[in-house]
């Protein structure tokens, strides 16, 4: 399948101030659109970004068949656009698609579509330290039908947003004790829109209590930690590194996996087990809770300075952290090519002539 490319005649690039890039508000010139009709993916097209017409009976709006990914492109030291673990994002969107009864996208097609779009909008990758081009692939149902059943038709879209450095200032968390994000057997492991809608009300309550984000707990006893907002979570206790074991309810973070692999390559094992809040509180009371940090594409690594749970507030000093800043520097360095990528995670964006789908 060939990607049809119709470049805009009216680029907005010249009017963008790369020193002022609020997260997620500015889109680059182009988008890729590919429709699923008659049981197959139709030819993809890259064209000027524009709104869609949506029929009131659009199935996705009512019954939520909608999934997405989030990834980043950055420039290496020679100015080449680089992608990070695209294959893993391809695998994860397909895992989400399977769970939500949506069609999978052949991995090559997904990866080449990202290459072609980022290649065309390579001028939109902000040059500054810590800046990047955020890439948002997503898919939604397009049948016009009222009734609960899988859609027959879908639209897959990719668009990108230049984003400035994400100053991952330390955050405060509160363990949720009323609402749940996900349950094993549910859709927590899928990157589907409804998970984020369901998180808004508890997040608002956490904010009203003075905390930045909710720390999600298991849905049965509110005893075991799951994850945080749009990040997976790590704890360093008594010189050992812990993260909740994946259990079908936790999103399989690609940054989480990168953290585990980097630490493993340094001879540091991450203990992946069901992690109880009781264990964390106990470590805190013994002076053994050394670091808490989140991992995710947007912030990469985000240190935590306060965790509230079971009526107590654990305060930490991110300035003393050693592992979190090391990991952030490693991941950012690998992404930008300033640290050698011994994992094979990065790839240079192919010139469009070389892209064949």
Helix or strand run (H / E) with residue 237: strand 232-237
Per CB under 6 A, the segment of 53-61, 102-110, 121-129, 291-299 that binds ligand PMP is 291-299
CB of 174 to ligand PMP, least distance (A): 16
Q: What six digits make up the tokens of 129?
A: 């330290």
CB of 253 to ligand PMP, least distance (A): 3
202 binds ligand PMP (CB under 6 A): no
Q: Judged by CB, which is closer to ligand PMP: 105, or 254? A: 254
d(CA 54, CA 37): 16
Figure out which of the listed residues 66, 230, 243, 290 binds ligand PMP, where binding follows CB under 6 A. Answer: 230
Whether 116 contacts 48, CB under 8 Å: no
296 binds ligand PMP (CB under 6 A): yes
297 binds ligand PMP (CB under 6 A): yes
d(CA 95, CA 86): 14
| Rg of the chain, C-alpha, whole Å | 21
Classify residue 8 as exposed, middle or buried by CB count within 10 Å of its CB (0-12, 13-18, 19+).
Answer: middle
Q: Judged by CB, which is closer to ligand PMP: 232, or 243? A: 232
225 binds ligand PMP (CB under 6 A): no
335 binds ligand PMP (CB under 6 A): no
State the Cα torsion 306-193-94-71 to the nearest 10°. Answer: -50
Figure out which of the listed residues 82, 158, 236, 254 binds ligand PMP, where binding follows CB under 6 A. Answer: 254
Q: Judged by CB, which is closer to ligand PMP: 296, or 303? A: 296
The length of the chain is 357
Touching ligand PMP, residues 63-82 (CB under 6 A): 70
d(CA 313, CA 281): 9
Residues forming the site for ligand PMP (CB under 6 A): 70, 227, 230-232, 251, 253-256, 295-297
């Amino acid at each position: 399948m060939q990607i049809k490319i119709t470049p805009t005649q009216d680029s907005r690039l010249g009017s963008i101030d790369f020193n002022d890039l609020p997260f997620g508000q500015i889109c680059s010139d182009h988008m890729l659109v590919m429709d699923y009709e008659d049981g197959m993916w139709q030819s993809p097209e890259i064209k000027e970004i524009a709104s869609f017409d949506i029929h009131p009976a659009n199935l996705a709006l009512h019954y939520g068949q909608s999934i997405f990914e989030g990834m980043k492109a950055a420039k290496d030291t020679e100015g080449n656009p680089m992608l990070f673990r695209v294959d893993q994002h391809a695998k994860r969107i397909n895992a989400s698609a399977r769970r939500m009864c949506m069609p999978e996208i052949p991995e090559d097609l997904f990866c080449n579509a990202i290459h072609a779009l980022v290649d065309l909008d390579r001028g939109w990758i902000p040059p500054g330290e810590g800046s990047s081009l955020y890439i948002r692939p997503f898919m939604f149902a397009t049948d016009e039908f009222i009734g609960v059943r899988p859609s027959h038709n879908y639209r897959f879209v990719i668009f990108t947003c230049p984003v400035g450095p994400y100053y991952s200032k330390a955050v405060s968390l509160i363990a949720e004790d009323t609402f749940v994000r996900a349950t094993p057997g549910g859709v927590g492991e899928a990157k589907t829109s409804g998970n984020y809608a369901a998180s808004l009300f508890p997040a608002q309550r956490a904010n009203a209590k003075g905390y930045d984000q909710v720390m999600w707990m298991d849905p049965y006893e509110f005893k075991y930690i799951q994850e945080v907002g749009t990040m997976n979570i790590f704890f360093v206790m008594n010189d050992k590194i812990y993260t909740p074991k994946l259990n079908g309810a936790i999103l399989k973070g690609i940054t989480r996996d990168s953290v585990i692999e980097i630490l493993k390559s340094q001879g540091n094992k991450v203990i992946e087990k069901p992690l109880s809040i009781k264990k964390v509180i106990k470590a805190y009371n013994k002076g053994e809770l050394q670091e808490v940090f989140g991992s995710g594409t947007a912030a990469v690594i985000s240190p935590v300075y306060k965790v509230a749970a079971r009526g107590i507030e654990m305060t930490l000093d991110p300035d003393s952290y050693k592992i979190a800043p090391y990991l952030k520097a490693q991941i950012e360095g690998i992404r930008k090519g300033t640290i050698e990528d011994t994992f094979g995670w990065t790839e240079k964006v192919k010139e469009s002539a070389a892209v064949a789908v």
